[in-house]
Structure 1
Amino acid sequence: AERRIPGALRFDIDAVKDTDSDLPHMLPRPEAFAAAVGAMGIGDGMRIVVYDGLGLFAAPRVRWTFKTFGATDVVMLEGGFPKWQAENRPIEHGPPRSRAARSFTARLDHSAVADAGDIARALAEGTAQVVDARPGDRFRGEAPEPRAGVRSGHMPGSLNLPFPAIVENGQLKSPEAIAAAFAEAGVDLDRPLITSCGSGVSAAILSTALETIGKPARALYDGSWAEWGASDRPLATGPAKRG
Structure 2
Amino acid sequence: MSHFVSTAWLADRLGDPDIVIVDGTWHMPNAGRDALAEFEAGHIPGAVHFDIDAIADTSSGLPHMLPDAQTFSRMAGALGIAPDKTTIVYDEYGLFSAPRVWWTLKAMGARNVKILEGGGPRWRAENRPLQSGPANPTPARFDATPDRNAVADFDTVLAATRAGSQILDARPAGRFAGTTPEPRPELASGHMPGARNLPFSDLIAEGSLKSPVELEAAIRQAGIDPSAPVITSCGSGVTAAVLTLALDTIGARDVKLYDGSWTEWGARKDAPVEKD
Question: Which among 169, 190, 193 is matched to residue 156 of structure 1?
Answer: 193
In structure 1, the residue matched to 2:131 is 92
CA shift at 1:172, angstroms? 0.5
In structure 2, the residue matched to 1:241 is none
User: Which one scores higher on RCO, CA 8 angstroms, separation ≥ 6?
Assistant: 1
Distance 2:101 2:66 in 1: 10
Q: Given the alignment of the two structures, is residue 66 of structure 1 paired with residue 105 of structure 2, yes or no?
A: yes
Q: Deviation per CA, 1:38-70, whole angstroms, max 9, x where unpaired?
A: 111222311111000001011000010011011
My pick for the range that moved more, 98-107 or 49-58, is 98-107
Is residue 207–residue 217 contact of structure 1 (8 Å, CA) maintained in 2?
Answer: no
Distance 1:25 1:152 in 2: 21
Q: Given the alignment of the two structures, is residue 56 of structure 1 paired with residue 56 of structure 2, yes or no?
A: no
Distance 1:10 1:109 in 2: 23
In structure 2, the residue matched to 1:39 is 78
Percent of aligned pairs sharing the same letter: 51
Q: How many residues align?
A: 236
Q: Deviation per CA, 1:200-219, whole angstroms, max 9, x where unpaired?
A: 00000000011111124521
Is residue 55–residue 82 contact of structure 1 (8 Å, CA) maintained in 2?
Answer: yes
Distance 2:147 2:272 in 1: 28
SS in 2 for 1:194: strand
Amino acid in structure 2 at the alignment position of 1:6: P
Q: Given the alignment of the two structures, is residue 209 of structure 1 paired with residue 246 of structure 2, yes or no?
A: yes
Q: Given the alignment of the two structures, is residue 101 of structure 1 paired with residue 127 of structure 2, yes or no?
A: no
SS in 2 for 1:38: helix
RMSD: 1.2
In structure 1, the residue matched to 2:184 is 147
Amino acid in structure 1 at the alignment position of 2:90: Y
In structure 1, the residue matched to 2:42 is 3
CA shift at 1:154, angstroms? 0.4
SS in 1 for 2:227: coil
What are the ranges of 5 or more consecutive residues in structure 2 without an aligned counterpart?
A: 1-39
Is residue 83–residue 112 contact of structure 2 (8 Å, CA) maintained in 1?
Answer: no
In structure 1, the residue matched to 2:156 is 118
Distance 1:164 1:142 in 2: 19
CA shift at 1:142, angstroms? 0.6
Q: TM-score by structure 2 length? A: 0.83
Amino acid in structure 2 at the alignment position of 1:135: P
Is residue 82–residue 110 contact of structure 2 (8 Å, CA) maintained in 1?
Answer: no
SS in 2 for 1:208: helix
What are the ranges of 5 or more consecutive residues in structure 1 without an aligned counterpart?
A: 239-243
